[in-house]
């Protein structure tokens, strides 16, 4: 066997073995970065290549657009020389079909961090959010025109939108947008101050007016000479108790 093929086989074995160990240790699959650290590969695209190869060989199955979802199949166990317990195992093709059906009914929306619902403040820097942070949201919550790749989520910090039923700690789902109509709720970035806020947006004659949904708070007036950007339009809210609006 060519030397390159031997190296590839060894790397695939290492990844499969690591996935099994990680699941036994932590109850979930490792992230792409963790797999890269294990095999000493810094490129996430290269790790993704190995995972796709394992998936094409039917050694693992993954839920579409879902991080930490890799599961080793019976074929993968056989590749490692591991014998299964003598129990009836569902065929991989059937399992793949079920996972596809689940992935189509659930969207995994990237959870990018926090947004303040108060006076505009610098975007909070929170190490608990990383490239693998996502939130699962039912596909049925969105209209037929929504596309999962256009969505992102931010956790709310503050109470300026409480009359819009958005509380501190809720997660807001946004559609990427560079402009919204007057009166629509949006994630707004003020470039000159490097600050962000969640408000109803109004473009008026010589200024922008950012309207809270809290009777104890005043509108925020932003002169038009300041650079202001719309980052996304609100399409759904996930309550901190787990319900969705």
Residue 55 Cα distances to 29, 140, 164, 191, angstroms: 14, 28, 44, 43
Q: Domain tally for the chain?
A: 2
Is 99 a domain residue? no
Q: Is the pLDDT of residue 208 over 90?
A: yes
Residue 119 Cα distances to 38, 50, 123, 185, angstroms: 44, 46, 12, 15
Per-residue pLDDT at 85: 54
> 195 pairs with which residues across the strands?
122, 190
- 85 vs 74, more confident: 74
Q: How confident is the model over 84-116, as pLDDT tens digits?
A: 654 444 555 555 555 555 455 777 888 888 888
- 187 vs 123, more confident: 187
0.85 exceeded by pTM: no
Catalytic residue among 29, 67, 118, 160: 160
Lowest mean pLDDT of 20-29, 58-67, 98-107, name the range.
Answer: 98-107
Is 245 a domain residue? no
Region of 136 on the Ramachandran plot (φ > 0 left; ψ -120 to 50 alpha; else beta): beta
Active site residue 48: no
Q: Are residues 58 and 149 in the same domain?
A: no
Q: b/e map of 124-151 (b: 16 or more CB within 10 Å)?
A: eeeeebeeebbbebeeeebeeeeeeeeb
Residues in the chain: 245
Q: Are residues 233 and 112 in the same domain?
A: yes
Q: Are residues 110 and 51 in the same domain?
A: no
Q: Which of 122, 120, 117 is nearest to 221 (CA)?
A: 120
Residue 96 Cα distances to 62, 153, 242, angstroms: 8, 28, 28
Tell me the residue range of the domain where 63 lies.
Answer: 3-89
CB of 109 within 8 A of CB of 151?
Answer: yes
Per-residue pLDDT at 245: 55
Calculate the average pLDDT of the chain: 79
Active site residue 160: yes
Per-residue pLDDT at 87: 45
Catalytic residue among 29, 67, 118, 199: 199
Region of 147 on the Ramachandran plot (φ > 0 left; ψ -120 to 50 alpha; else beta): beta
d(CA 243, CA 220): 30
Q: Are residues 148 and 178 in the same domain?
A: yes
What's the whole-number mean pLDDT along residues 125-142? Answer: 63
Q: How confident is the model over 163-192, as pLDDT tens digits?
A: 999 988 898 999 898 899 999 999 998 877
CATH number, domain of 189, equals 2.10.109.10
């Amino acid at each position: 066997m060519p030397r390159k093929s031997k190296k590839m086989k060894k790397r695939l074995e290492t990844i499969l073995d690591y996935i099994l160990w990680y699941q036994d240790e932590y109850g979930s699959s490792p992230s792409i970065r963790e797999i890269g650290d294990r095999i000493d590969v810094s490129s996430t695209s290269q790790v993704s290549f190995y995972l796709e190869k394992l998936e094409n060989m039917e050694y693992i199955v993954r839920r579409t657009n879902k991080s930490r979802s890799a599961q080793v199949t019976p074929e993968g166990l056989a590749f490692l020389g591991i014998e299964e317990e003598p129990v009836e195992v569902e065929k991989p093709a059937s399992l793949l079909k079920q996972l596809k059906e689940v992935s189509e009914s659930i969207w995994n929306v990237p959870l990018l961090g926090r947004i303040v619902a108060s006076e505009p403040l610098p975007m909070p820097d929170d190490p608990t959010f990383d490239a693998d942070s996502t939130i699962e949201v039912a596909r049925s919550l969105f209209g037929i025109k929504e596309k999962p790749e256009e969505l992102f989520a931010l956790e709310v910090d503050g109470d300026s939108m409480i009359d819009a039923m958005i509380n501190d700690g809720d997660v807001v789902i946004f559609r990427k947008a560079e402009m919204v109509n007057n009166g629509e709720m949006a994630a707004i970035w003020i470039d000159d101050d490097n600050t962000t806020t969640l408000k109803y947006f109004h473009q008026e004659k010589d200024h922008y007016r950012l309207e809270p949904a809290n009777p104890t708070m005043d509108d925020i007036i932003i002169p038009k000479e300041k650079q202001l950007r719309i980052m996304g339009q609100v399409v759904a809210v996930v309550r901190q108790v787990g319900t969705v609006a």
